[in-house]
């Protein structure tokens, strides 16, 4: 049995450039049915009685150590002058604490890098893990006026390079 068409081409076939949506719809419906069947199986849970505890979290504020270094290389541990041997002993004592304190280094703008490198290396050798630098905010790189820093006062802080 032949089917006729109302085309005027009389037997000349041409390609159809439309997407056949029926197979795609069939696949989507099969996937939908599979997900509907398996979704309740995934939410199956086992009821257990877990012990209840009412404890308050421990708020441990880590101690902060302020280490200031002036232009001559003199070091101040929380505003008290210390030498290199005392500094090493203090680093070892503080590294044994739990939680470890944070070491904040304030260095003068004219402090030699060698002094800072020695301080950082002795802190690392002692086991201190939290180390930071305190800088003065601002973009000016001019040094602060000299003569302000007394031995008991905090020395001037180092400038952060702006790039």
In this predicted model, what pLDDT tens digit does every residue of 36-57 receive, in sequence order? 998 887 777 777 777 777 777 7
CB 121 within 8 A of CB 113: no
3-state SS, one letter per residue, for 5-54? CCCCCCCCCCCCCCCCCHHHHHHHHHHHHHHHHHHHHHCCCCCCCCCCCC
Q: Provide the 10 A C-beta neighbour count for residue 88.
A: 16
Second CATH level (architecture) for the domain 64-136+151-159: 2-Layer Sandwich (3.30)
For the chain, which residues make up each domain, given as ranges? 64-136+151-159
In this predicted model, what pLDDT tens digit does every residue of 108-156 receive, in sequence order? 988 899 999 999 999 999 999 999 988 887 655 555 544 444 444 444 4
CB 71 within 8 A of CB 111: yes
In this predicted model, what pLDDT tens digit does every residue of 55-73 receive, in sequence order? 777 777 778 999 999 999 8
Nearest residue to 128 via CA among 88, 84, 73: 88
pLDDT of the residue at 125: 93
Contacts of residue 118, Cβ cutoff 8 Å, sequence gap at least 6: 84
């Amino acid at each position: 049995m032949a089917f006729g068409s109302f085309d005027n081409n009389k037997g000349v076939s041409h390609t159809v450039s439309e997407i056949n949506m029926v197979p795609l719809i069939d696949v989507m419906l099969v996937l939908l049915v599979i997900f509907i069947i398996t979704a309740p199986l995934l939410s199956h849970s086992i009821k257990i009685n877990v012990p209840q505890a009412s404890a308050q979290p421990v708020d441990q504020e880590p101690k902060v150590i302020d280490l200031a270094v002036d232009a001559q290389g003199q070091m101040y541990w929380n505003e008290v002058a210390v030498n290199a041997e005392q500094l090493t002993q203090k680093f070892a004592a503080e590294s044994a604490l739990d939680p470890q304190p944070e070491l904040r280094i304030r260095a003068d703008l004219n402090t030699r890098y060698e002094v800072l490198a020695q301080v950082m290396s002795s802190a690392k050798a002692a086991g201190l893990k939290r180390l930071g630098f305190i800088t003065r905010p601002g973009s000016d790189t001019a040094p602060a006026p000299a003569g302000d820093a007394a031995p008991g006062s905090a020395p001037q802080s180092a400038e952060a390079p702006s790039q």
